[in-house]
Structure 1
Amino acid sequence: MPTTYRIAAVQAEPVWLDADATVEKTIGLIEEAAAQDVALVAFPETWIPGYPLFLWLGAVAGQMPYIARYHANSPTVDGKHLTAIRQAARRTGVTLALGYSEKDHGSLYMAQSLIAPDGDVLLHRRKLKPTHVERSLFGESDGSHLKVVDTPLGRLGALNCWEHLQPLTKYALYAQHEQVHVAAWPAFGLYKGLAYALGAEANMAVTQTYALEGGCFVIAPTQVISERGIETFATTDEQRALLTPGAGSSRIFGPDGTPLGKPLDEQAEGLIVADIDLSVIDLAKNAADPAGHYAKTDATRLLHDDRPKSAVVRPGQAIGPHFPDLPDLDEPLADDVVS
C-alpha cells in the first residue's frame, strides 16, 4: 500500500437534472484527474443529477414539476450511468468517491459509492437521515451504512453534508481508524447571507474539525451554481433572491487540520489537488486518538448497531437489504449509455 499519493476534490456544476450529460461531465473530470496523476478523486453530494435546490425555494406544490424529472434522472446502482462511470475508473486507474441520488424502485436515497481503479464498488452507502426538507424527497438508511473500508489507498470512508454535524455518526467512523475521509457537500449559494449555518464558512469549519478530530485526511468536494442553475430552479424574483451564483468552496485538510492544495475561485470549476502522506497520521494521533488512547471508555461509549435493516424479513433469508448484482464491466455498454 502506498503511503504517499495524490488526491483531488471536485468543484464543478452538474448539468442540472440531466443524468446523461452529468455522467459525461463526470467522465471528463475523471480523465482530468488521471492526467494530473490523481489516485483518488471525490465528487459532491448528489452530484448526479445535481443537488435538488427546488426543495428550499417554496411550497411543496411548486416542487411538483421537478419531482418526476429528478426521479427519472437519478441513477440506479446497477444501471447504465454507474456502469459507465465504473468503466471510466477502470480505464483511467483512478479511485472514485461518487455522490448521487440513487433510485431504488419508488424511493430515492442520497448515496455515495466508492469505486476502485478496477471498477469494483468497494463501498456503497446512503445518508443516514436527510436534512430538513430533504426528507420530503429522500429516504433514510441504517447503521450498516457507517463503514470504513480497506483499500490499496488506505482505510477510506465517506459522509454527506450535515452528517458532519452528528457527533456520534462521526465517532462511528473515527472508531474504524479512517485514514482518508470524503466529506461531500452541495453548493453553498442557498440563502447566502440569510442563514449562516448553510454557508461555506460554517460547513468548511466542521469539515476541518473532522480532520482534526479524526486525525485523518479529508477531501471536501462542492458544487457550483451558475446563472443557468438559478434559471433552472427559480421561477420568481423572490426565488432568485435565495440563490447566489458561485458558491464553490471545495477544500482538502490534513490530519492536523491544515488546509492543503490551492483553492479555486468560488465560481471556477476544476480540481483541488494535494499530495498526501498517510504516515503523518501517526503524528496527529500521537497527540489525540479519539477512539484509542484519548478515549475514556469508563465514562462514555458509543453503541453502533451496524446490522442492516430491511422492511421485510422472510424465513430462511439473510436479514438486510439486497445489493443488486452489478453489470460485468467486460460486457459492451448499450448504445444509449454515456461513454
Structure 2
Amino acid sequence: MNYDSIVRVAAVQAEPEWYDIEASVDKAIGLIEEAGRGGAELVAFPEVFISGYPWHLWLGSPGWGVGRFGKRFHASAMAVDGPQIARIRDAARVAGTAVVMGYSERAAGSVYMSQAFIGADGELIANRRKLKPTHVERSLYGEGDGSGFGVHPIGSALVGGLNCWEHYQPLSKYAMYSLHEQIHVASWPSMSMASDYYIHSAKASEEAVRMYAMEGQTFVLASTQIVTEKAHEFFCEDEEQVAVLGHGGGFSRIIGPDGSDLVPPPAPDAETVLFADLDLSAITLAKTFADPVGHYSRPDVLSLRINHAANKVTVSTGGDAEPVATPEVCEVVPSEDDVVGVSGQSPA
C-alpha cells in the first residue's frame, strides 16, 4: 500500500434536480468539471444525487407517495449501463477526475441506492448497492449484498464508500476497515427533516462520519444533498409538509484520520464543492495509536464473517436458453473461504 502520496480531493454539497434524470446528469457533469478545474483527483457525490432523495416517502402515506411520484421517480433512476452514466463517465475522463457518484439505480423493475466508482479514465471500476435501505426506504428500494464491500485503487489510494445510515452499522463499518481503506466516501442526503430525535439531525450524522474517520484511521469525504424552497415546491402540498421536510440539512466535510476537519465546514444550505489535499502518511500516524484491524485487534476473541458473494435470483441447471441477466460490475475483494477476521489481514 502507498502512504507517501498527496491526493487532492473534492466533496460536493448540492441540491439535486428532483426526479429529472437529464437535468441531474447535467448538474453532476458541471460539478465534475468544477472539481477537475480545482485539480481534484477524486470527487465525491451525495447519496442518490441522481435524481434526488425520495422525500415523498417521509411526507405522506405510501399510497399518496406512489400515486403522486411513483412513475416519475422510477423514470428518473439511472441504469448502470445506460446512456446517462456514459455521459458521467465521459465527463470524468475529460476532467481527469475520478468520481464516486450516488444514484438511484434502475435494474429492470427494481431500484437500488447505489454508488458508482468511476476512474479518471472514465472506466466504471465498481458499482455497489446499499446493503439495507433505512426504515421507509425499504418500501421503495431493494437491498444490496456482500459484493458491495470493497476498496478500489483510484489513483494512488484505496477508495471505498457507504451510504447514509450504513455509517451506523458497526459490522458494515468494520468490514470496510478490514480492507485497509485509505479514502472513504460517505454519501448522504440532506439531514433537514424536522424531528425530536437527535439521531436524525445533521449534527448527529456529522458525528457519525467523524467517528468513522477516527475508528478506521481513514480520510472521509462526506458529501450531502441540501433542501431549499425548490424541494418544497416539488414535494410539498401544504405548510405542514414544508415544516416536516425542513431546510438546508447539508453537512459536507473532509475529515482527517485523526477526526479533524481539513477545510472549514460550509453553511448547511450552501451549494459548494470542498477541496483538500490529503497526505496519506497521516494514516500511518493515526494507526500507530490504534489500529482495530491490526495491532489493536483480538482475532482470537472477536471475528467477523463476510459473505462476499453476489445474490442470484436464478440458478441455471441446464437447457439451451441463455438467461437474461443484469450485468454484475461490483468488485469482489477475494478472501479465503469468504472470511475476514477481526485482525483484518488480507490473504496473500
Structures share fold, TM-score greater than 0.5:
yes
The equivalent of 2:6 in structure 1 is 4
For 1:289 and 1:150, locate their aligned partners in 2 and report how far apart those are by CA, in whole Å: 21
The equivalent of 1:294 in structure 2 is 296
The equivalent of 2:327 in structure 1 is 323
Q: Aligned ranges for residues 192-231 of structure 1 at < 5 Å?
A: 193-231=195-233
Q: Could you tell which deviates more after superposition, 54-63 or 257-266? A: 257-266
The equivalent of 1:17 in structure 2 is 19
Partner residue of 1:73 out of 73, 76, 81: 76
The equivalent of 1:42 in structure 2 is 44
For 1:210 and 1:223, locate their aligned partners in 2 and report how far apart those are by CA, in whole Å: 20
The equivalent of 2:342 in structure 1 is none
Detail structure 1 runs of 4+ shifted over 3 Å in the superposition.
none
2:174 counterpart SS class: helix
The equivalent of 2:249 in structure 1 is 247
Q: Aligned ranges for residues 232-311 of structure 1 at < 5 Å?
A: 232-311=234-313
Q: Using the TM superposition, give the Cα deviation of residue 148 of structure 1 relative to its aligned residue in structure 2, in angstroms.
A: 1.1
Cα contact 2:107–2:326 (8 A) shared by 1: no
The equivalent of 2:137 in structure 1 is 134
Q: TM-score, normalised by structure 1?
A: 0.92
Cα contact 1:262–1:273 (8 A) shared by 2: no
Cα contact 1:9–1:220 (8 A) shared by 2: yes
1:260 counterpart SS class: coil
The equivalent of 1:328 in structure 2 is none
What are the superposed Cα offsets for residues 173-228 of structure 1, whole Å, 9 maximum, x if unpaired? 1001000000000001112x533211111111010000000000000000011101
Say if 2:189 is the partner of 1:190: no
Q: Aligned ranges for residues 79-90 of structure 1 at < 5 Å?
A: 79-90=82-93
For 1:225 and 1:151, locate their aligned partners in 2 and report how far apart those are by CA, in whole Å: 31
Q: TM-score, normalised by structure 2?
A: 0.90
Cα contact 1:8–1:41 (8 A) shared by 2: yes
2:204 counterpart SS class: helix
Q: Could you tell which deviates more after superposition, 250-259 or 147-156? A: 147-156
The equivalent of 2:344 in structure 1 is none
For 2:290 and 2:318, locate their aligned partners in 1 and report how far apart those are by CA, in whole Å: 45
Q: In the alignment, residue 315 of structure 1 is paired with which amino acid?
A: T
For 2:24 and 2:52, locate their aligned partners in 1 and report how far apart those are by CA, in whole Å: 8
Cα contact 1:250–1:263 (8 A) shared by 2: yes
Kindly report the root-mean-square deviation, in angstroms, between the aligned alpha carbons of the 2 structures.
1.5
Say if 2:127 is the partner of 1:121: no
Say if 2:60 is the partner of 1:63: no
Kindly tell me the number of residue pairs found equivalent between the two proteins: 321
Taking only the aligned residue pairs, the percentage that are identical comes to 47
Q: In the alignment, residue 290 of structure 2 is paired with which amino acid?
A: A
Q: In the alignment, residue 306 of structure 1 is paired with which amino acid?
A: H
Say if 2:148 is the partner of 1:170: no
Unaligned runs of at least 5 residues, structure 1? 326-339
Q: Using the TM superposition, give the Cα deviation of residue 249 of structure 1 relative to its aligned residue in structure 2, in angstroms.
A: 1.1
Partner residue of 1:101 out of 96, 99, 104: 104
Q: In the alignment, residue 278 of structure 1 is paired with which amino acid?
A: L
The equivalent of 1:112 in structure 2 is 115
Q: Using the TM superposition, give the Cα deviation of residue 324 of structure 1 relative to its aligned residue in structure 2, in angstroms.
A: 6.0
Q: Using the TM superposition, give the Cα deviation of residue 263 of structure 1 relative to its aligned residue in structure 2, in angstroms.
A: 1.8
Cα contact 2:41–2:155 (8 A) shared by 1: no
For 1:295 and 1:183, locate their aligned partners in 2 and report how far apart those are by CA, in whole Å: 24
For 2:274 and 2:155, locate their aligned partners in 1 and report how far apart those are by CA, in whole Å: 22
For 1:324 and 1:309, locate their aligned partners in 2 and report how far apart those are by CA, in whole Å: 10
Q: Aligned ranges for residues 149-160 of structure 1 at < 5 Å?
A: 149-160=152-163
Q: In the alignment, residue 116 of structure 2 is paired with which amino acid?
A: S
The equivalent of 1:329 in structure 2 is none
For 1:163 and 1:75, locate their aligned partners in 2 and report how far apart those are by CA, in whole Å: 22
Cα contact 1:49–1:74 (8 A) shared by 2: yes
Q: In the alignment, residue 226 of structure 1 is paired with which amino acid?
A: T
1:249 counterpart SS class: coil
Cα contact 1:148–1:155 (8 A) shared by 2: yes
Residues 67 and 322 of structure 1, relative CA distance in 2, 3 Å threshold: closer
Q: Using the TM superposition, give the Cα deviation of residue 93 of structure 1 relative to its aligned residue in structure 2, in angstroms.
A: 0.4
1:112 counterpart SS class: strand
Q: Using the TM superposition, give the Cα deviation of residue 313 of structure 1 relative to its aligned residue in structure 2, in angstroms.
A: 1.2
For 1:43 and 1:209, locate their aligned partners in 2 and report how far apart those are by CA, in whole Å: 20
Q: Could you tell which deviates more after superposition, 167-176 or 145-154? A: 145-154
Q: Using the TM superposition, give the Cα deviation of residue 45 of structure 1 relative to its aligned residue in structure 2, in angstroms.
A: 0.2
